[in-house]
A and B are shown apart, each in its own frame.
Chain A
Amino acid sequence: MATTLTKIRFREPQIEMAHGAGGKASRRLVEGLFAPLLFGSSPGPLGDAAHIQINGTRIAMTTDSFVVKPLSFPGGSIGELAINGTVNDLAVSGARAEAIVVTFVLEAGLPTDILEAEVRAMAKAAEAADVRIAGGDTKVVEHGKADNMYITTTGLGRLLAGVEISPQSVRVGDKVLLSGPIGDHGITILLARGDLDLEAELRSDTRSVFPLVQALVREAGAGVRWMRDPTRGGVATSLNELARDCGLGIVIFEEKLPIRDTVRGACELLGLDPLHIANEGQFLAIVAAEHADAALQALHATPGGQEAVLIGEIREQPDSAVLVTTLYGGSRLVDMLVGDPLPRIC
């Protein structure tokens, strides 16, 4: 365990917004300050949930805080995200969510009907995901000290039988599967904030991905090497983390990426890369080549999985990086997101 002598690598003088955006800065904070002081010197690859053994039973545990603005948006709201986000973090760790505890930080002056609507949304999402809300805590802070409400959820899950996932098990030739279209959530939120005077028919993709994960694991078993839900930082950030953790190259075929025209249009207009946009109801899976076709069919046969696609494969090169190739023979590296995605003008 850490002592007062434990050195930290994090040298930045203060916390900036980028440290919470899920990209490189977040990683520096976690690896440079939290990990050495809280988990000892080598935390290993940082997954979506911790795996713990209690009396021989393998348990997955995760926690997540939700600070969304606006609180509700087309297709979802903070209450629903708070349940699905934690259910999904457990799911992509190969676990079925069993129980969740909730902490609310409420701002004085928050109208009760807004709180009620969010708690109802949580109950509904928990019922849909078949997970029990086992307890909670409430704190109220002064008006102006929080954006209406923050929610933290902590979830416990039981690992599915036969699942063995880790970045180290990824091999050259493995395939990259994606459960459906990307960018819906991030672009919906960006537009719902109303700062950009843009409107589009678009809904957040927030949902539990557990049924899809379960179908995938049932079909491919230990052929499923790694999974991740590409939330903040998008597909590019999740895949870069994997590339770094497994030391291999990930090649994505641009023409295979499922992106709705609305999302593509908004991204073109705003100068954003859909690969950097957040998702709340999709997941990435690395699957052994010999299982890839059957795994894809299993996803297609599961409700909500019809749009799943094979988007790329693992190669030896580029070393620890993600490369996107185009049909016409061009290619580019895609890095993790740096800071928040910001619209460009020219």
Chain B
Amino acid sequence: MKYVDEFRAPELIRKAGKEIRRLADSKRHYRIMEVCGGHTHAIYRFGLKDLLPENVELIHGPGCPVCVLPMGRIDDGLSLASQSDFIFAAFGDMMRVPGTHGSPLEYKARGMDVRIVYSPADALKLARNNPEKHVMFFAIGFETTAPSTALTLMRAKMEGLHNFSVFCNHVTIIPAIRAILDSPDMRLDGFVGPGHVSTVIGCRPYDWIAKDAGKPVVVSGFEPLDILQSIVMLLRQLKNGESKVENQYKRVVPWEGNSAALRAMAETFELRPYFEWRGLGFISQSALKIRPSYAEWDSEQRFTMPGVRVTDPKAAQCGEVLKGVLKPSQCKLFGRECTPEQPVGALMVSSEGSCAAYYNYEHRKPVSIANAAAN
């Protein structure tokens, strides 16, 4: 398959693995954070940890939109859409995320009209085709998915489609990285930067990480070779004592980002003063809300939301795992009370959450197999 197989070519991947082992100083321990949940998933799915020497450790970051969504927001969305003339539309990722009284899938099984859509434009189509219903699109995601929500809002306004609204849960990546770097128990050597987010925001927003925080950033693609090459680039910077932003994912990410997408976001969204992140707590200016000029299509401005706040179970150590302080398996609930089927904490929910990825692909893997592959 074109544009995939080239980036999974065994000989190139082995070569990149060898280069990583050559560059990594055996007297040093490297802690590299991959910010994006898509990277976390790829690292486990392709078994990339098997190819890294023991002193190059990957720490899983906060870039999984489903994982950082507080349960109260899900409760709010489900409670509004429980009215009989509503259709609850969301991405497949959302469907198994538990609210206090069940996930959207469970609500669907009980009779709520829940639809999986692949883009917000599909939700708009649902609204056109079901004029007697109100379609609420539960919007999640970082800057990756926010532009398509923005364009959909603009489209709804243009068409004067009044039976459609967006429950906006979009968040932004930079404040989350700042929160992690500000955390006193955090020690990181560099970042594998988010690929899809950067197609929209470009590479400049990471400048401060390299300049002020002194940590190198390499924006990376999602295939095995992309990720390994990004680690090579990071190790090279660390070896040379450098700290800069580099773009490994040039085939997709323009340095300046996508100005049309950024314009659409600016037209429809403004920053919330603060927003709650699951596991990380309240972070100021870290999320988007819909501008008053689009109030008609904003579920929160148009309807009364219960505004539920649900505290996460105390025993779940999602925050520590999310910040990379603990490994998934070091959480007290991991694999016992908390599994992908019956998740307690947020990171076990999405296949991109580090706990779910670790549970599905790694945790029962015999040590002998992992070691054999690395040698």
Contacts and interface: CB of A to CB of B under 8 A. Distances in A.
A150 to B, nearest CB: 17
Q: Which 3 A-B residue pairs are closest in the complex by CB-CB distance?
A: A330-B47, A342-B92, A328-B13
B93 A332 contact: no
B305 interface: no
A287 B139 CA distance: 49
Contacts of A242: none
Contacts of B208: none
The interface size bin for chain A is 35 or more
A197 B122 contact: yes
A345 B224 contact: no
Nearest to A327: B10
B364 A333 contact: yes
Contacts of B142: 346
A328 B116 contact: no
A170 to B, nearest CB: 19
Contacts, number: 132
A199 interface: no
A41 B145 CA distance: 50
Contacts of A318: 364-366, 369
Nearest to B125: A197
A45 interface: no
B176 interface: no
Contact of B46 (A14, A15, A332): A332
Interface of B: 1, 4, 8, 10, 13-14, 17, 37-38, 44-51, 65, 91-93, 95-96, 105-106, 108-110, 115-118, 122, 141-142, 144-145, 196, 224, 340-341, 350-352, 360-366, 368-370, 373-374
Given A321-B364, A326-B47, A346 B122 contact: no
A343 B105 contact: no
A196 interface: yes
A18 B51 CA distance: 35
Contact of A331 (B92, B110, B122, B365): B365
Interface string A329-346: 111111100110011111
A308 to B, nearest CB: 22
A51 interface: no
A256 to B, nearest CB: 13
Nearest to A196: B118
A346 B369 contact: no
Given A330-B48, A330-B224, 11 more contacts: A15-B109, A195-B122, A265-B1, A323-B369, A328-B8, A329-B51, A331-B47, A338-B340, A343-B91, A344-B92, A344-B350
A332 B41 CA distance: 11
Contacts of A333: 360-365
A116 interface: no
Interface in A264-317: 264-265, 268, 270-271, 317
